[in-house]
């Protein structure tokens, strides 16, 4: 039995070593599971927050675009109804009146722009050297 004692002691040490190794593996797996769950929970929280922010941003963008679209439509109406030159739809003015009106408009445009009303007399435009 004295010869069996070292083998029993060695077997007991091997079993204790294996039990410690197994327990350390379980503990390591447990810690890894805790880390993975925390990472998953953090990622899920971050995803929800990002989706919420994206939704708010999308709603804000849609409202701005709707406002701009409404503004654009209003502006187009104003531009379409802007009167550039009067058009006589009813015949309430004679042809002579329309001719005089157009001539006065042309004179006023030339005066405001600084153009001459008529051609210069003689050869005044030519430069003499």
39-50 residues labelled b (16+ CB within 10 A) or e (exposed): eeeeeeeeeeee
Tokens of 56: 């708010």
* CA 18/CA 73 separation, integer angstroms: 81
Tens-level pLDDT at each residue, the chain (129 residues) = 678 888 899 999 999 999 999 999 999 999 999 999 999 999 999 999 999 999 999 999 999 988 887 776 555 555 555 556 666 566 677 888 888 989 998 888 888 877 766 666 666 655 555
Q: Determine contact, residues 102/92, Cβ cutoff 8 Å.
A: no
* Torsion sign, CA atoms 59, 63, 68, 74: positive
Spatial CA neighbour of 109 closest among 80, 83, 85, 93: 85
């Amino acid at each position: 039995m004295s010869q069996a004692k070292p083998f029993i002691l060695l077997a007991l040490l091997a079993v204790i070593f294996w039990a410690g190794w197994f327990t350390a593996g379980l503990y390591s797996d447990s810690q890894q599971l805790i880390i993975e769950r925390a990472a998953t929970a953090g990622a899920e929280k971050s995803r929800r927050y990002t989706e919420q922010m994206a939704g708010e941003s999308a709603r804000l963008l849609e409202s701005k675009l709707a406002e701009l679209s409404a503004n654009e439509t209003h502006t187009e109406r104003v531009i379409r109804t802007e009167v550039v030159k009067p058009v006589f739809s009813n015949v309430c003015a004679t042809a002579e009146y329309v001719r005089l009106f157009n001539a006065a408009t042309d004179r006023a445009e030339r005066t405001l722009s600084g153009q001459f009303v008529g051609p210069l007399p003689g050869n005044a435009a030519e430069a003499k050297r």
